[in-house]
Structure 1
Amino acid sequence: MSKPLWWQGAVIYQIYPRSLNDTNGDGIGDIPGIIEKMDYIASLGVDAIWVSPFFKSPMKDFGYDISDYRDIDPQFGTLDDFDTLIETAHRANIKVIIDQVISHTSDQHDWFLQSRQSRDNDKADWYVWADPQADGTPPNNWMSLFGGVAWEWEPRREQYYLHNFLSSQPDLNFHNPAVRQQILDEVEFWLQRGVDGLRLDAINFCFHDQQLRNNPAKPPEKRQGRGFSEDNPYAFQYHYYNNTRPENLGFLEDLRALLNRYPGTVSLGEISAEDSLATMAEYTQGDKRLHTAYSFELLVDDFSADYIRSTVSTLEQRIQGGWPCWAVGNHDVARVMSRWGGPNPSADLAKMVNAMLGSLKGSLCSYQGEELGLPEADIPFEQLQDPYGITFWPNFKGRDGCRTPIPWNPSGAEAGFSTGTPWLPITDAHRNLSVEQQDRDPGSVLNHYRQFMHWRREQPALRWGDIEFLDAPDNVLLFIRRHQQQTLLVAFNLNDHACQLALPEGIDALCGHGIEGAELAQTTLRLPAHGAFYGQGANL
């Protein structure tokens, strides 16, 4: 790599705007709230923010059901507010990436309202419509990720329409050239407004099999969900025909050509496929498709060195020059502290996980609240907002537990988030981890996050280097990062007990990253529970 681009090795801080900061007292976070907290965000040492959807929407899926791609939903603010957000972020040297949800719209979008009226209007072929089978049942066996069949009957047309998610999220027909061009125009609206990049939601869902072939059944032992529960009927199929179709590659190249006209912009794809690592490699291949991509492979319950090593190594073998992005949490899965730390996760675990994510090869997405070490919030059924959780309760409680508002201070039910009643409750466990309290504690997860991310900026091997995994004792992750003149040896103890391992001769410990407790005596390294070590030496 001759000269890394800004997004290569970048720390991207995901903002779920409903839950960051509410400035008007309606209990819902907003764009002025993000602006108000820009100094805090800058203090974290991140390079960019990814802002989850703020577009006009009936909010059936909290913004991922867009009814107008070019307008701000009033509960979040105005276009002028968004312009101010970009200006404020850029003054703080922070890039702005926005969500683009292009595989589907809301059923309240003008395009769909017209399309559903008849089979011969101007938008008749803008969505995926199909006739029923002879007995009136849906065209095939495709299932919705959010529960039930992926087809909804429309009496006006006497046809079914496809929805891979909620029935209020009809899928666009990307086989129609007019749809593809229109979506590129919607994207360009925001590029012209000055955004630095796009996070592309469910980007492998744009195209469907035009023959509408049935998905084959998946054996019970292979029903391993990535971002969805294994008892969800969606997990009962191989999804060969309702997503990740080969035609999508051509569209990604058209999208990349558009981005190339806006130098410095980046595309970050969300991938959830049958083989997500293979799809990540394919979608970032050849510097002509996506710039980078991430998947749900580390957003799982499996917290082991073997799994992490295998996942990262497999992608390295496949990606061939593409650039990965890693995440251990987002707005769709239980918070990583609860997934990997159980009911009482420690501050040391939170520090180690944040450092580990920042030490893997690639860029990283860090979800708001991970800098505080927030666990999953326990939301009672009567306070659930997520339709996904309401449908699958009690086996799967949905996504509300990771979406609760950020606790800014420990006082009051609102914890400094709002002067009104928050849209989701703030738990006592979160109030005790508030920004105000952690700010005052030099040893807090928050202050470690700041120290580590600022230190990482000065380590070219961590930002841009190659990665080579080494053998290590059970549940210890050990690898080397190399970039030009810098070589680092990195170790993480994923155990809740201390361990020791042998290192090559001549290794010296590096300081400044903020994780204490590792002890190096000649060639023997002792790592405390959830400890970490960074070293360098001529023998690496």
Structure 2
Amino acid sequence: MTAPSPNWWKASTCYQIWPASYKDSNGDGIGDIPGIISTLPYLKDLGVETIWLSPMYDSPQKDMGYDISNYEDVYPPYGTLDDMDNLIKSCHDLGMKLILDLVINHTSDQHAWFLESRKDKTNRYADWFVWKDPRIVDGKRLEPNNWRSIFGGSAWEYCEERDQYYLHLFVKEQPDLNWELEEVRRGIYKSAIEFWLDKGIDGFRVDTCNLYSKDITYPNAVVRLHGEEHQPAFDHFTNGPRMHEWLKEQREQVLDKYGDVLMVGELPGTDAAEVLQYVSAEARELSCVFDFDVVMLGTATHAGGKKHHTVRHTLPQFKEAIRKVQDLIRGTDAWTTVFLENHDQGRSLSRFATDKPEWREQAAKMLAVLMCTLTGTLFLYQGQEIGMYNHPESWGVEELRDIDSLNAYNDVAKRHNNDPLWCKKAMKGLQLVGRDNARLPVQWDDSKNAGFTTGKPWIRVHDDYEAVNVAAQIKDPNSVLNFYKKMIKLRKEHADLMVFGQDFSVWDFHDQDVFTFTKSHPERHGEKLLVFLSFSDEEQPLHYPTGLDKVKKELLLSNLNEGEEVGKYLSPWEARVYLIKESVLNGY
């Protein structure tokens, strides 16, 4: 059996919703599912065809719902199973699809499976999680190895009832499931996957989907952080030996029963050759994946570095990261994705462009042009379409809610005895890449709390909501929101080149201020797409690809306001998209 072609999800424009911060319908300060349903016409008008809903499952919320205590129920502040049924129906009634987060590397320590597993070594669920005996050295009880949690500290937690340690690659309240056990896999498939596909959802974004298979000898990790007790162990739990076997099993035993199910994987720390093994159409494991090279620019977190080591990347590094993602489809049967934001990243405007007031709207439109002209399934994150940006540098640690960010800050503060300069350094890194930047409430209008809630919001609303909000931008024909609508529409009209284009070529790789690329499609008879993007506060010259400076070009779109004409040079943060016809490409 092969998947139908073309797959519905390839040309889909997807929109990620972080439920806690999206829209509150009942005034308790937390977003909810009825709030989401109320905005579906807005998303439809934007051009969204698929919604990705981040975890809404029942959870103690130690890690914002990525610690699931019941896959088959909803976190009460978000709503009920009936609300989810209504959301699924409402999406489908509007011709939209809905995908959910699939979090099956670990559960919450409050999940019934783990509560039973921790009781003793002989109960039905005893081996459903990764348990290891302590090492005894000089009469002292030590952890099974030196692995460091992805969120910092030890990856092991002692359980007195069993006199054993359990593995948690994330916080201690997120014990890792033992995928080696077939009974565990069957339990996951039934409770986390089939339950929701039976309700009619259209697929999943698969959380940390290359971590299930570990090196079952559990050796010590190589020392990379000198002087540290716990060491990054990605080599021993990323892309492990049975990953492809299990993903094939999942597709053949479960997903195939439901037709063309979208499975978009989160695949950090994976090189291009290995990514292909996951997303090859022939392999039939994942539909596509998020490549993190772009959003990890300037950080050292994957190598075990700290957030206060964050630096500003260069434009050539940015171009290279995008080239890697675009080249995934070159000569292969794979598919790729386009994204610059999600719930784990700082806002793209602050990270990759500028959030200076004088250039912010122009820069947001320039990034819209970049995203909509790249090949792959397009993913937008809530608030990106209005140009939301990172929280102000003046905010203190008391405004943060994310456990990863708080752990990072407290680690620095503890190591350096709360030295104010070190604490300032920690906050500077978090202001650029901290996860709370993406989790601030969506700014719907200029009323109190930005129209997100009538109550007290669970996290502070951005100070600039009166200037940046949906209601104001709907009325303004030159707004970022209306530009995104125009750009998404253009992407659909020119899908062959924009969505499915091939031969992505960067023409000014070393230029620190301008990004120029071309794309073509074999079935478009030699037409080319030519894109110029300015990443500068100053006017910049155009770097025309060889032979294209004098040929006739049709300007499909620029991000200048109505009435403004493109000139000889690129104005600050300007973007242009040209179409060059076959008749002028002879000999090109």
Q: Which amino acid aligns with 2:380?
A: S
| 2:184 counterpart of 1:179 | yes
Map 1:287-298; keep pairs closer than 5 Å: 287-298=283-294
| 2:362 counterpart of 1:361 | no
Mapped partners of 1:11, 1:232: distance in 2: 44
Q: 1:510 is matched with which residue?
A: 555
Match of 1:423 among 453, 458, 468: 458
Q: 1:478 is matched with which residue?
A: 516
Map 1:25-104; keep pairs closer than 5 Å: 25-104=27-106
Deviations 1:466-513 (A, max 9, x none): 132142254322222223225322222222222222351323233356
Mapped partners of 1:98, 1:276: distance in 2: 26
Q: 1:498 is matched with which residue?
A: 539
Q: 1:16 is matched with which residue?
A: 18
Contact preservation (8 Å) 2:555, 2:579: yes
Instruction: Using the aligned pairs only, state the percent identity.
Output: 35
Deviation at 1:182, TM superposition (A): 1.3
Q: Which amino acid aligns with 2:454?
A: T
Match of 1:400 among 436, 439, 456: 436
Deviation at 1:185, TM superposition (A): 1.3
Deviation at 1:316, TM superposition (A): 4.8
Equivalent residue of 2:465, what SS? helix
Could you state the TM-score of these two structures normalised by the residue count of structure 1? 0.91
Which structure 1 residue ranges, 5 or more long, are not aligned? 221-230
Deviations 1:204-255 (A, max 9, x none): 11121110012223379xxxxxxxxxx9998x63511023202111111122
Closer, same or farther in 2 for the Cα pair 1:191/1:233, shift >3 Å?
Answer: farther
Contact preservation (8 Å) 2:326, 2:504: no
Q: 2:385 is matched with which residue?
A: 371
Deviation at 1:430, TM superposition (A): 2.8
Deviation at 1:437, TM superposition (A): 1.3
Deviations 1:453-475 (A, max 9, x none): 11211112101121321422543
Mapped partners of 1:12, 1:256: distance in 2: 22
Equivalent residue of 1:12, what SS? strand
Q: 1:246 is matched with which residue?
A: 241
Mapped partners of 2:326, 2:442: distance in 1: 35
Which structure 2 residue ranges, 5 or more long, are not aligned? 299-311, 410-422
Deviations 1:99-149 (A, max 9, x none): 010100000000000000001110011000001111311111111111101
Q: 1:331 is matched with which residue?
A: 343
Q: 1:281 is matched with which residue?
A: 276
Mapped partners of 2:146, 2:68: distance in 1: 26
Q: Which amino acid aligns with 1:369?
A: G
Deviations 1:43-71 (A, max 9, x none): 21122110000000011111110000011
Equivalent residue of 1:392, what SS? helix
Q: 1:457 is matched with which residue?
A: 492
Q: 2:419 is matched with which residue?
A: none
Mapped partners of 1:515, 1:373: distance in 2: 16
Q: 2:576 is matched with which residue?
A: 533
Contact preservation (8 Å) 2:166, 2:175: yes
Q: Which moved more, 1:358-367 or 1:162-171?
A: 358-367
Q: Which amino acid aligns with 1:76?
A: Y
Contact preservation (8 Å) 1:509, 1:533: no
| 2:266 counterpart of 1:270 | yes
Q: Which moved more, 1:91-100 or 1:101-110?
A: 91-100
Mapped partners of 1:247, 1:318: distance in 2: 23
Q: Which amino acid aligns with 2:514?
A: V
Q: Which amino acid aligns with 2:553?
A: D
Equivalent residue of 2:556, what SS? coil
Deviation at 1:376, TM superposition (A): 1.0
Equivalent residue of 1:348, what SS? helix
Q: Which amino acid aligns with 1:97?
A: I
Q: 1:224 is matched with which residue?
A: none
Deviation at 1:371, TM superposition (A): 0.5
Mapped partners of 2:502, 2:405: distance in 1: 40
Q: 2:304 is matched with which residue?
A: none
Mapped partners of 1:56, 1:29: distance in 2: 15
Q: 1:170 is matched with which residue?
A: 175
Provide the aligned C-alpha RMSD in A.
2.3
Equivalent residue of 1:107, what SS? coil
Closer, same or farther in 2 for the Cα pair 1:381/1:439, shift >3 Å?
Answer: same
Contact preservation (8 Å) 1:518, 1:531: no
Mapped partners of 1:18, 1:511: distance in 2: 38
Q: 1:434 is matched with which residue?
A: 469
Contact preservation (8 Å) 1:304, 1:494: no
